[in-house]
């Protein structure tokens, strides 16, 4: 039986033989919904590189205790891919977050593009952001990720422009672009920080595109087909990561 992965936010100082207690909603779901039982093998991660293998020693309705049998610390995978995702309509935002997490994206930045139909304001912004974070966390557990993706607060266009300067390679998907996705292996060294900007269903506006290109981003297209915003990031991310050692088995899990 494959051990299930659970989130334990604080694994600092844990060693082989240590007891780790998991509480709250994470424990409730494991014990009450999934029916975790004493003696069952489990995996715990803090989502920041530490992975613990252990056995359940005790359970209650809102907690369970694990005895650590193996503790490993894994470096953050490189290159790190950040996807700036324009807000899609309906529940397609959670779909985008889910698949981007599963594929190994390091950071998913929600973006209030000028043509986004969805709008995050006030209480809705807080709830929507929390939902994206929860979706990323659950998808990371399903994908057995040791590093969970970061989901910062909603970014405006000028903040996205600021992210471009920090990236080694910055790309913006646009259906009218001439250039294809770059060959990351063509340079002297593999880029360590990659930024990918995905526009809304209505596309990136000319003003936004100009701002991004002026800041150093390259406008690219995936092919003849026009993908929905919730799947375009997945397709482009896969095409980029397939060129790296992360998908060649040398650096392990995301």
Q: CATH assignment of 4-73? A: 2.40.240.20
Q: Where are the domains of the chain?
A: 4-73, 80-247
Domain 80-247 fold: Alpha/beta knot (3.40.1280)
> What is the DSSP code string of the chain?
-PPEEEE-S--TT--TT-EEEEEHHHHHIIIIIS---TT-EEEEE-SBSEEEEEEEEEEETTEEEEEEEEEEE-PPPSSEEEEEEEPPSTTHHHHHHHHHHHHT-SEEEEE--TT-S----HHHHHHHHHHHHHHHHHHHHHTT-SBPPB--PPBPHHHHHHHHHT-SEEEEE-TT--PBPP-GGGSSS--SEEEEEE--TT---HHHHHHHHHTT-EEEB--SS---HHHHHHHHHHHHHTTSGGGTTSS---
**pLDDT tens-digit profile, the chain (254 residues):** 578 999 999 999 999 999 999 999 999 989 998 899 999 999 999 999 999 999 999 999 899 999 999 999 999 999 999 999 999 988 899 999 999 999 999 999 999 999 999 999 999 999 999 999 999 999 999 999 999 999 999 999 999 999 999 999 999 999 889 999 999 988 888 999 999 999 999 899 999 999 999 999 999 998 888 889 999 999 999 999 999 998 876 445 55
């Amino acid at each position: 039986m494959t051990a299930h992965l659970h989130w334990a936010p604080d694994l600092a100082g844990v060693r082989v033989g240590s007891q780790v207690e998991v509480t709250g909603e994470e424990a409730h779901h494991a014990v009450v919904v999934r029916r975790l039982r004493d003696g069952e093998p489990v995996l715990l991660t803090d989502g920041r590189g530490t992975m613990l293998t252990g056995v359940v020693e005790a359970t209650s309705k809102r907690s369970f205790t694990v005895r650590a049998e193996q503790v490993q610390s894994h470096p953050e995978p490189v290159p790190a891919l950040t996807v700036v995702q324009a807000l899609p309509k309906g529940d397609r935002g959670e779909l985008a977050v889910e698949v981007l997490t599963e594929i190994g994206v390091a950071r998913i930045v929600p973006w209030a593009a000028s043509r986004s139909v969805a709008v995050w304001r006030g209480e809705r912004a807080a709830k929507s952001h929390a939902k994206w974070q929860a979706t990323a966390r659950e998808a990371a557990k399903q994908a057995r990720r040791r590093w969970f993706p970061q989901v910062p607060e909603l970014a405006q266009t000028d903040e996205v422009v600021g992210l471009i300067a920090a990236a080694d390679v910055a790309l913006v998907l646009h259906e009218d672009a001439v250039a294809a996705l770059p060959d990351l292996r063509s340079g002297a060294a593999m880029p360590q920080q990659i930024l990918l900007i995905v526009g809304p269903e209505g596309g990136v506006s000319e003003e936004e595109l100009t701002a991004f290109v002026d800041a150093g981003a390259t406008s690219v297209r995936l092919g003849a087909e026009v993908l929905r915003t919730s799947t375009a990031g997945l397709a482009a991310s896969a095409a980029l990561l397939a060129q790296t050692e992360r998908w060649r088995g040398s650096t392990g899990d995301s």
